[in-house]
């Protein structure tokens, strides 16, 4: 039977949760890197035992940890993330220009074909690439050339948090940045263009249809249909059927369309999941009831999923990188909360169980299925 491995990044360390394919009985290992913020861990699709972890601290800066044995042993690799050339400036909160400054890595995205090739999304927003297993990093600076001087950090910082690789076309990459928007390259990262047409930010931007500046919270794709993208924006849930050329709102009957994560079912590319939060002023579930919403129609028609989730007095948040799906049948869905719970549904969201309830605040969740 398969083994399922869930990689959990939290505010005070990493945890690895394992189970067999039934996903009922779990072993919890951790904390790894105790006391450090672990923004994200992700394994290579080619070699699942190759895992990259972003270990970060306001005191000691950025570390990159790499494991070659599924998380049993770790080694530090390169942590020099240097912007190419003169890094220039971006817009600051007071409207002035502010120098680009590296703060941390939000997200790692390993290549589909080479375990030594991995992309890293940084704050202040930039995309870095390593082809030597994280030993050295090079920026793909063409991204910041796309009106980077107009990008402005939001409350959570100006992080590049989403990296989607097109499994059919290695030259196509999608990325998203808080308070800057979504961008795409079709030449392996040399040149980029904004893909924000159709986004409307009525309350966040002076020009609701601006080319850049939209606060994209997360984008998801089913690898079998890499041209179809689903987005959770600050407000609004949207889809694009043409690789981001145009976005259409599909919030439909959601109780609120503010939230952070969005995911696509592993086998049903029109089944998507979001976790609505009450508002951008109140990052907690409506009515204190934690509910995942599922659409089986690619959006617009949503159903609440609550069985096994707390339905009273629940005021946690679910962050943008803290939701994942596995590739088993039926598809497993996972998410972690700022309250330290990690939930699993082994039946595509119909019912939920807490794997753990009292971890530090969860920053990220990824899942691997091992043969």
Interface with another protein includes 72 (CB under 8 A)?
A: no
Write the interaction track for another protein spanning residues 278-307; mark x where CB under 8 A is met and - where it is not.
------------------------------
Residues 6 or more apart whose CB falls under 8 angstroms from that of 142 comprise 185, 189, 190, 191, 192
Give CA angle at 126 (124, 131), nearest 5°: 135
Interface with another protein includes 76 (CB under 8 A)?
A: yes
Task: Specify the pairing of strand 75-77 against strand 61-67.
Answer: antiparallel
Nearest approach in angstroms of CB 102 to another protein is: 8
Interacting residue with another protein among 10, 62, 162, 364 (CB under 8 A): 62
Site for another protein in 93-152 (CB under 8 A): 102
Interacting residue with another protein among 58, 95, 206, 371 (CB under 8 A): 58
Task: Specify the pairing of strand 37-43 against strand 51-57.
Answer: antiparallel
Choose the binding region for another protein from 72-80, 105-113, 216-224, 313-321 (rule: CB under 8 A). 72-80
Choose the binding region for another protein from 53-61, 187-195, 233-241, 256-264 (rule: CB under 8 A). 53-61
Query: Exposed/middle/buried for 97, CB within 10 Å: 0-12, 13-18, 19+?
Result: exposed
Interacting residue with another protein among 61, 169, 208, 209 (CB under 8 A): 61
Nearest approach in angstroms of CB 66 to another protein is: 12
Which is closer to another protein, CB of 81 or CB of 335? 81
Q: Of 119, 193, 129, 194, give the one whose Cα is nearest residue 162.
A: 119
Residues near another protein (CB under 8 A), total: 15
With tokens 């895992």, the residue in question is 51
Write the interaction track for another protein spanning residues 227-266; mark x where CB under 8 A is met and - where it is not.
----------------------------------------
Q: Of 339, 259, 351, give the one whose Cα is nearest residue 309.
A: 351
Nearest approach in angstroms of CB 229 to another protein is: 34
Query: Exposed/middle/buried for 123, CB within 10 Å: 0-12, 13-18, 19+?
Result: buried
Interface with another protein includes 203 (CB under 8 A)?
A: no
Nearest approach in angstroms of CB 83 to another protein is: 9
Nearest approach in angstroms of CB 120 to another protein is: 14
* Contact yes or no for 152/179 (Cβ under 8 A): yes
Residues 6 or more apart whose CB falls under 8 angstroms from that of 269 comprise 222, 224, 225, 228
* Contact yes or no for 232/218 (Cβ under 8 A): yes
Interface with another protein includes 36 (CB under 8 A)?
A: yes
The three-state DSSP-derived secondary structure of 237-251 is EEEECCCCCCCEECC
Which is closer to another protein, CB of 3 or CB of 138? 138
Interface with another protein includes 57 (CB under 8 A)?
A: yes
Nearest approach in angstroms of CB 82 to another protein is: 5
Q: In the structure encoding, which two tokens stand for residue 364, read together?
A: 């990220």
Q: In the structure encoding, which two tokens stand for residue 351, read together?
A: 């019912």
Q: Distance between CA atoms of 180 and 78, rounded to whole angstroms?
A: 27
Q: H or E element: which one contains 231?
A: strand 229-233
Interface with another protein includes 34 (CB under 8 A)?
A: yes
* Contact yes or no for 292/309 (Cβ under 8 A): yes
Interface with another protein includes 85 (CB under 8 A)?
A: no
Interacting residue with another protein among 24, 29, 35, 187 (CB under 8 A): 35
Interface with another protein includes 59 (CB under 8 A)?
A: yes
Nearest approach in angstroms of CB 160 to another protein is: 18
Applying CB under 8 A, the residues found at the interface with another protein are 34-36, 57-63, 76, 79-80, 82, 102
């Amino acid at each position: 039977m398969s083994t399922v491995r869930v990689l959990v990044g939290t505010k005070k360390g990493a945890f690895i949760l394992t189970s067999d394919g039934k996903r009922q009985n779990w072993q919890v290992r951790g904390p790894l890197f105790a006391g450090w913020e672990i923004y994200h861990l992700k394994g290579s699709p080619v070699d699942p035992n190759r895992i990259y972890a972003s270990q970060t601290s306001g005191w000691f800066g950025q570390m990159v940890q790499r494991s070659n044995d599924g998380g049993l042993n770790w080694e530090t690799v390169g942590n020099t993330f240097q912007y190419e050339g003169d890094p220039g400036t971006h817009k600051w909160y007071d409207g002035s220009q502010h120098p680009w400054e590296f703060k941390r890595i939000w997200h790692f995205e390993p290549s589909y074909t080479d375990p030594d090739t991995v992309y890293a999304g940084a704050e202040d927003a930039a995309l870095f690439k390593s082809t030597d297993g994280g030993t050295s990093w090079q920026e793909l600076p063409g991204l910041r050339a796309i009106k980077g001087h107009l990008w402005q950090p939001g409350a959570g910082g100006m992080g590049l948090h989403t990296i989607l690789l097109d499994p059919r076309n290695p030259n196509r990459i999608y990325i998203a940045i808080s308070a800057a928007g979504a961008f795409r390259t079709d030449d392996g990262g040399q040149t980029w263009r904004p893909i924000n047409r159709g986004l409307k930010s009525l309350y966040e931007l002076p020009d609701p249809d601006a080319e850049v500046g939209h606060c994209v919270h997360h984008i998801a794709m089913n690898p079998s249909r890499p041209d179809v993208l689903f987005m959770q924006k600050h407000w609004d849930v949207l889809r694009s059927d043409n690789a981001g050329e145009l976005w259409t709102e599909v919030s439909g009957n959601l109780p609120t369309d503010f939230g952070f994560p969005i995911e696509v079912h592993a086998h049903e590319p029109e089944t998507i999941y979001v976790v609505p939060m009450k508002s951008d002023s109140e990052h907690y579930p409506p009515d204190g009831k934690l509910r995942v919403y599922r659409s089986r129609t690619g959006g617009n028609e949503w159903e609440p999923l609550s069985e096994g989730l707390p339905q009273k007095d629940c005021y946690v948040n679910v962050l943008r990188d803290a939701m994942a799906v596995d590739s088993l049948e039926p598809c497993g869905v996972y998410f972690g909360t700022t309250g330290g719970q990690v939930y699993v549904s082994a039946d595509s969201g119909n019912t939920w169980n807490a794997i753990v309830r009292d971890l530090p605040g969860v920053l990220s969740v990824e899942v691997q299925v091992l043969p």
